[in-house]
């Protein structure tokens, strides 16, 4: 019986979430903000995405992402972080629709940091941030508005120029956008 009640409550909640009216769309002067996960990297990155509609079809904004990883060995503690702020611009092919395909470009700067702490009195400790730098990517994706205030967002991003800060030229991001 408990499973039936949980499934019923989940169905009712999802039906409210998937109710759409004519305000659920990309539009001029609209603003969207939401969390994003970068899935095609190890470790998985997370961050936030913002977009502002500057015309009927064009949006500009930014995305910031973070990756962090640490490892302990018998001799060292190693930690690495990457923070990537990016400026972005996108063209929306079907403005005003519930399904919103888009394509654009991003210019970003990767801020990398690696720290190695020796567990031995004779081992070296060091910090390195020498692999930071600019890069350019092209991206495309879909935003699907479940309601006027909530949309799912998925995109593929391809590195066009600069160092490979994603550990691969192609990466997949998914997120949720909230209309402000």
* Per-residue confidence in pLDDT tens, the chain, 180 aa: 454 434 344 443 444 444 444 455 888 889 999 999 988 777 888 999 999 999 999 999 999 999 888 888 777 788 888 899 999 999 999 888 899 999 999 999 988 888 887 776 666 666 666 678 898 999 999 999 999 899 999 999 998 887 766 666 788 999 999 998
Tell whether 9 is covered by a domain: no
Contact of 72 with 79, CB cutoff 8 Å: no
Tell whether 67 is covered by a domain: yes
pTM for the full predicted model: 0.76
Tell whether 21 is covered by a domain: no
Tell whether 96 is covered by a domain: yes
Tell whether 20 is covered by a domain: no
The residues, any chain, with a CB within 8 Å of residue 119's CB and separated by 6 or more, are 74, 75, 76, 77
The residues, any chain, with a CB within 8 Å of residue 4's CB and separated by 6 or more, are none
Tell whether 122 is covered by a domain: yes
Residue 65 has a pLDDT of 92
We report the CATH number of the domain holding residue 97 as 2.40.160.20
Tell whether 11 is covered by a domain: no
Range of the domain at 45: 27-179
Tell whether 8 is covered by a domain: no
Residue 117 has a pLDDT of 78
Q: How many domains does the structure of the chain reveal?
A: 1
- Hunting for tokens 């550990």 — which residue is that? 167
d(CA 34, CA 153): 9
């Amino acid at each position: 019986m408990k499973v039936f009640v949980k499934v019923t409550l989940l169905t009712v909640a999802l039906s409210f979430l998937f109710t759409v009216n004519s305000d659920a769309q990309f539009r001029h002067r609209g603003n969207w903000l939401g969390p994003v996960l970068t899935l095609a990297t190890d470790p998985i990155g997370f961050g936030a995405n913002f977009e502002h509609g500057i015309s009927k079809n064009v949006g500009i904004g930014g995305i910031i992402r973070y990756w962090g990883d640490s490892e302990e060995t018998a001799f060292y503690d190693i930690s690495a972080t990457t923070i990537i702020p990016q400026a972005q611009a996108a063209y929306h092919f079907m403005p005003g629709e519930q399904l919103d395909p888009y394509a654009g470009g991003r210019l970003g700067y990767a801020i990398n940091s690696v720290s190695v702490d020796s567990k031995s009195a004779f081992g070296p400790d060091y910090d390195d941030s020498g692999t930071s730098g600019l890069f350019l990517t092209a991206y495309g994706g879909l935003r699907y508005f479940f309601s006027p205030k909530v949309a799912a967002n998925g995109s593929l991003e391809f590195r066009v120029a600069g160092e490979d800060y994603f550990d691969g030229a192609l990466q997949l991001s998914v997120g949720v956008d909230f209309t402000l």
